[in-house]
Every structure is written in structure tokens, then in C-alpha cells.
Amino acid sequence: MNAAAPQFIEAASPHVMNTYGRVPIALSHGQGCRVWDVNGKCYLDALGGIAVNTLGHNHPKLVPALQDQIAKLIHTSNYYHVPNQEVLAKKLVELSGLTNVFFCSTGLEANEAALKLARKFGHDKGIERPEIVVYEKAFHGRSIATLSATGNPKVQAGFGPLVEGFVRVPINNIDALKQATDGNPNVVAVFFEAIQGEGGVNPMHMDYLREVRQLCDERDWLLMIDEVQCGMGRTGKWFAHQWAGIKPDVMPLAKGLGSGVPVGAVVAGPKAAGIFGPGNHGTTFGGNPLSMRAGVETIRIMEEDGLLANAATVGAHLVANLRRALEVELANGQVREIRGQGLMIGIDLAKPCAALVQRAADVGLLISVTADSVVRLVPPLILTKAEADEIVALLCPLISTLLKETA
């Protein structure tokens, strides 16, 4: 790093709207699973842009492809055909076993489109006020509709009235789902994350996924699985629900699909793929040539480099070593659980731990904390076992120290 690199001093800009509780770091560049701030300090990136930077930073295969695309076309609008939309859609159909794709730019947009699909599905069946089953602790976005589907009162506070038409149930409880919907003819869909991200890295059980799939078939509901954070190879399969051997009717995607370039998608099966017609939904930026190239190249590189297997193998190695390093804290209940799959891992502590974000940054590690007491690790899928060991070596002493502190 050049000795004359600019110093980042202010914790916040006076001109940027104050919507984030930021760590006072300004990042300059990255390589692989490491990033550097403008002062030259290096960090191991165990957050991956919040499960976005699938291929890490400055990937030698991705960067030239994006440079090539930028020199050709960045944006044209959906008045015209975008050839790589068909290439990427065909690939997502192949990987998911579904049939059609709508492209947008973010996970929020993908989830919003899923909610619209469910409502139109109901209206097409003659249901005047369709209702959608959603879950406690869920997070689907911050628009008014996706915020209403979200199960977090803190992020909903101050934005009422919320959108109606949602039935909320606890996760992994098929009896609760049945009791909440029995005798209700307005229910049209069940909508959930295969692994809740912002809610604390809470996985849906495999048996529960299969039971919900069966119930949706019996009651003619859409099964809509939000794979925005847990999809795109993060768990060791392309999509987290595939561990249960099921297929959804609607699957929103985003985050890791473009390795940092904003890409969102809604992948639909036969029951939902024909619901939208021209004029029912749209987007200005979605499916633009740059984002489509990013999606195509991301999947190609993931396949070439065996990143699904790497996520599964390195993730299991990381979890095993975390459990070993935190053995005492797990035994005495100070660490309640280490859960997740592949490279989507949550360390659930028995006390709030937001302070760990800054403490980790101080020792050169980027993490996040969700649900007040869960350390979330969602590093790039190129993470090595050596880098996983480094995460453990940096993070676990910080956790142990925090847990020894009195409230």
C-alpha cells in the first residue's frame, strides 16, 4: 500500500443519509478472501459482503469478463432482448429443475415479485383477499410489502400501517402451520427462507421442508422459498432446499448470484411460471447486460473450480474447529449452539454480542452479528481450510473474552 494513501478519519459522512450503523473502516481493495482499508490495514473477510462476494475479491477469471462486458454494453433496458438473460435463465433452470426466470437487481425486488406472484395466483383463482403464510424471525427485505412479511418488530417499528394479508407461524412446526390455516380459504402460498439469515442463521429442518411441500400440494398453495442468502452454493448444494430433495414453485435469488454485481432473480416452476404476463411486472435495471454476464460467469467459475464441494468441505472443517475451540463455552451454555450448513454459519451466544463486530475488525477479521446474539459467518466460497483456521484463531478468543465479561 502506498505510504501516501488517504487516511480515513471520520466515522460518518455528513452528506450520506444516516441509515447504517457502520464500523469506522473504509475499504480500498481486495484479493481473494482478504481486503485492505485506505490506511493499509489487512482484514480476513468472513462476511463476504453479507454472502454476496461468492468468488471473493479481484477474481482472476471474473474481472476480465466484467471488463470485457463493460467495454461492450452495460445497460440497454428490457425493450430489447438481452442474450445473456436466456443463457443465465437456462442455467438456473437446469440447476433448479424449475422452468422460467424473471430477472431483477436485488433480493428485496425478487421477494416483492414473489409476493406479487402469490397474490395474482390467488386472484386468478377467484380469491379476492389472498393471504400468504410467513414466519417468525423471517427477513425478506425493507420495502413496505417485504417488511410486512418480515418477522422482526424492530425493523417494522415506525413504518405502519403494514401491508395486510400475512399469516405468521413459528418455524419447523407443521402442526402450528396447519392450525393457523385450517378453514382459511384465502391462503395461497407459504413463504420462507430455507435458512433464516438475518433472523439468526436458523435452518428449516429437512423433514419440515418435505411436510410443507406436501401440504402445499394438498391445498393448492404455492411453495415459495427465499434462497437470497442461503442459495447459490453457500450450503454445498446450489440451493439449500435441495438437501431435502424437494422443489419449490417460486424461488427468489440474489446476493451471491453476481459475485458483487447486483443481480436478483425469481425462478419459477410450472405452477407459477405463467402467472405474470406483459405489463404485470417489470424493472428498469433488472437483467441488464453487465449483471447477466456477472451471473453467467459466476456460475461457470463455481463449476470449474468446484466451489460447491469447497463450501461443504471447508464449512464442515470450520464448524468442527469452532466447536473444538469453544468446547468449554458450549458445555456451560454460554455458547448455545453453532449451526448452519456449508459456509453459512451462526454462533449463538447466551448474551448480546454486537461489540464483537468492532473487536473482530480490530484484530483484522470482518464478521457480522444478527438477532443481537448470533455471530454470522458467510465468507466467500473460495475460503481455504487454512483461512478457516485463521477465522477460528482470531474470533474464538474474542468470544471467550466477551462471555467472561459481566453485563
Q: Known catalytic residues?
A: 139, 226, 255
Q: CA–CA separation, 226 vs 189, rounded Å?
A: 13
Cα–Cα distance, 178 to 281 (Å, whole number): 31
How far is the CA of 267 from the CAs of 80, 134, 148, 189, in angstroms?
A: 21, 19, 22, 15
Distances (CA, A) of 176 to 82, 173, 200, 249: 45, 5, 21, 22
CA distance 28 to 296: 26
**Cβ of 284: how many Cβ atoms within 10 Å?**
11
Residue ranges in 157-205 assigned as alpha helix (H): 174-181
Report the distance separating Cα 307 and Cα 380, nearest Å: 10
Question: Residue 90's Cα: distance from chain center in Å?
Answer: 22
Q: How many CB atoms lie within 10 A of CB 48?
A: 27
The C-alpha atoms of residue 248 and residue 217 are separated, in whole angstroms, by 11
Cell of 76: 440497454
Closest by Cα among 303, 320, 292, 328 to 392: 320
Per 3-state DSSP, what percentage of the chain is helix, strand, and coil (rounded to 5)? 40, 20, 45
Euclidean distance between CA atoms 93 and 275, whole angstroms: 17
